[in-house]
Amino acid sequence: MTGYDLVVVGGGPAGVAGALSAAQAGLRVALVDAGPRLGGQYFRHRAGSLPSGRGADRFVRQCRALRTRAELLLDHKVWAVEQGEDSVTVHVMAGQEERPFTLACRSLLIATGAHDRPLPFPGWDLPGVLTAGGAQALLKGEGVPAGRRVVVSGTGPFLLPVAAGLAKAGVSVAGVFEANGPLGLARHPLLAAGKAGEALGYGAALAGHRVPYRTRHAVVAAHGSSRVTHVTVARLDAEWRVLSSRTVECDAVAVGYGFVPQIDLAVQLGCATTHSADGSPVVDVDEGQRTSVASVYAAGEPTGVGGAELAELEGRTAGLTIAHDLASGEGGDPVPGVLRRRGERLRAFARALQEAYPVQPGWQDWLHDDTLVCRCEEVPVSRIREAMDLGATDARSIKLLARPGMGWCQGRICGYAVSCLAGERPQAPRRPIAQPITLGCLERIEDEQPH
C-alpha cells in the first residue's frame, strides 16, 4: 500500500508549488484541500474567476500545470495523519457527504497555511465583527463586502490590503486603526527595502478613498444589540493602554492581530516545533523543509508566517527536497543556491515584520470581567482569572478548570489570548482530531478502501 509518493495538504501558494515541483520531478502526487478551489487564503477567488494580486499570474500557471500532473482532491478535509512503518496515512473526508477514506504516501507535505489571530475585546462576539481575514475571504472569495461602513483594526501590514480591497469595492471604510506605532516599515532598513513599495501602494489607494489611517489606535470595544452599530476607538500608548477614546459608527468591523500557523497535523505526527518571532508555535524545519520526523515536510505559514512569496519558495524547496530524498535517501541539499539565498532574505524580512508589529500586553486592560475570551464555551475573563487563582498556572490547566478552548473551535480562536492571560508563550496545540468527524464516519474508516 504505497499509494502516492507525495501527498500535499493545502492548496495555497506553498502546497501548489510543492506539489508541482515534486510532480515535475516525476513523483506521483496528490494534493488535498478543504476548499472548492485552489488558492488558499492569499489567492482566494470567486467561483468562475481567476486569482488576482501580486504573483497571481504565476500561481494560475502553476495550477494549470499541476492539474495535468497530479491528482487534485478539492473539498477534501484531512482530519488526522498517522505515521506507519514505511508510509504516512492521511485520513480524509470527501465532499459534503464527508465520505471517509485514507491515502497512503511515502512523503507528506504540510502546507496548511494560517488563520487570523484575534484578540478579545468587549463586544467582539457581536455579529458584524469579523476577523480581518474573514472580511477579506468574504470579499475575495464570495464578492460580499462585510458591511456598508467598516472599521479595520488590529496590527500588521495585512490591515492595509483588507481596507484597500473594501474601499475599492465601494465600501465606506471608517478608518484603519493600527495599534502599533508609525512604522515599522519606514524605519526598519530591511523592511524599507522590501515591503515599503507595496505598503505605499495600499497607502495611496486608501488616501484616494479618503480612508483615515491612524497608528497607536485600536478598536477596544464594539457595541450594539444584535449587530455591531458602533465601536470605541482608543488612542493607545506604546503598551496599548488606552489614553483616550471616541465612538465611531459602523455596521462591520475587521480585526486581526497577526496570524496563527495551522500546525495540528505536524503535532499529530510528533514533529518538533519552535516559536517564531511573533510568539506562535511553528514547525521546525531544516533548509530543505524537512521536519524532525522522517518523510514529513512543511512549507509556508506552518513554518512561520512569511507571506505568499516565501510560502511559494518554501513549497518549491520542499518539492525538490522530497524528490531528492525519495531518490537517494534523506540528507544532502538539492536546493539551488539562488532559491536558498532568496529564502533567507524573505525569512529575515518576515522576522523583521513580525518584530515591527508585536502584540503589546495593554490589550488585557480593554477587557471587562464579563468579556468573553472563549466564544464557543462562553468563558468570560473573570472565570479565567478565577481558575488562575485556584492554581491553574498555564493555558492547559486554565482550560481544564474553566473550559476556554474546550468547544467547537478547540482553542483555535482563543488559544493565543488564553496563553497571554496565563503569562506563557502559546504551546503547540495537541489536536488529534483536526476536523470534527461524525462518529458514523469514524466507526467505518477502515471499511473504506484506500483511494
Partner 1 sequence: MSDVIVIGAGVVGAACAYYAAAAGLDVTVLDRGPVAGGTTGAGEGNVLVSDKEPGPELDLALLSNRLWRELAEHGGFEYEPKGGLVVAETGEVQRQLVELAGKQGVEHTVVPDTELHGYEPHLADGLAGGVFYPQDAQVQPMLAAARLLRHGADSFGHGALRLRTGVTVTGFVRSGERVTGVRTDHGDILADAVVNAAGTWGGQVAALAGVELPILPRRGFILVTEPLREPLIRHKVYTAAYVTNVASDSADLETSAVVEGTPAGSVLIGASRERVGFDRTTSIPVLRRLAAQATALFPVLRNRRVIRSYCGFRPYCPDHLPVIGPDPRAPGLLHACGHEGAGIGLAPATGHLLAQLLSGERTALDLAPFSPGRFA
Partner 2 sequence: MSFEITVDGRPVPVVQGQSVGAALHAAGITSWRSTRREGRPRGLFCGIGVCFDCLVTVNGRESQRACLVPASPGDEVTTS
Interface with partner 1 (CB under 8 A): 80, 82, 91, 268, 270, 377, 387, 390-394, 396-397, 400-401, 403, 406-408, 410, 430-433, 436-440, 442-443, 445-446
Please, which of residues 79-98 interact with partner 2 by CB under 8 A?
A: 96
Between CA 342 and CA 429 the distance in angstroms is: 30
9 forms beta bridges with: 32, 110
Specify the length of the chain in residues: 451
Between CA 231 and CA 173 the distance in angstroms is: 13
What's the min distance (Å) between Cβ of 438 and partner 1?
5
CA 288 to chain centre: 22
Q: Which is nearer to partner 1, 195 or 383 (CB)?
A: 383
Pick from partner 2, partner 1, none: which does 299 bind, CB < 5 to 8 A by kind? Answer: none
Phi-psi region of 258 (alpha: psi -120 to 50; beta: other; left: phi over 0): left
Contact flag: residue 116 with partner 2 (CB under 8 A): yes
Q: What is the DSSP letter of 278?
A: T
Q: Which is nearer to partner 2, 147 or 288 (CB)?
A: 147
Q: Which is nearer to partner 1, 79 or 257 (CB)?
A: 79
Between CA 202 and CA 157 the distance in angstroms is: 10
Angle among Cα 98, 102, 107 to the nearest 5 degrees reads 130
Nearest CA to 191 out of 350, 63, 381, 389 is that of 350
Pick from partner 2, partner 1, none: which does 431 bind, CB < 5 to 8 A by kind? Answer: partner 1
- Out of 131, 153, 155, 303, which residue is the one contacting partner 2 (CB under 8 A)? 131
CA 42 to chain centre: 10
What's the min distance (Å) between Cβ of 54 and partner 2?
20
Between CA 62 and CA 48 the distance in angstroms is: 17
Contact flag: residue 143 with partner 2 (CB under 8 A): yes
Contact flag: residue 146 with partner 2 (CB under 8 A): yes
- Out of 3, 12, 134, 343, which residue is the one contacting partner 2 (CB under 8 A)? 134
Pick from partner 1, partner 2, none: which does 96 bind, CB < 5 to 8 A by kind? Answer: partner 2
Q: Which is nearer to partner 1, 26 or 270 (CB)?
A: 270
* Helix axes of 395-402 and 381-389: crossing angle, nearest 10 degrees: 110
The answer to whether residues 138 and 144 touch, using CB atoms and an 8 Å cutoff, is yes
Contact flag: residue 325 with partner 2 (CB under 8 A): no
The answer to whether residues 114 and 131 touch, using CB atoms and an 8 Å cutoff, is no
What's the min distance (Å) between Cβ of 413 and partner 2?
5
What's the min distance (Å) between Cβ of 172 and partner 2?
16
Question: What is the distance in angstroms between the CA of the first residue and the CA of the last residue of the chain?
Answer: 10
Binding site for partner 2 (CB under 8 A): 34-36, 41, 46-48, 96, 115-116, 125-131, 133-138, 141-144, 146, 226-227, 375-376, 378, 407-409, 412-413, 436
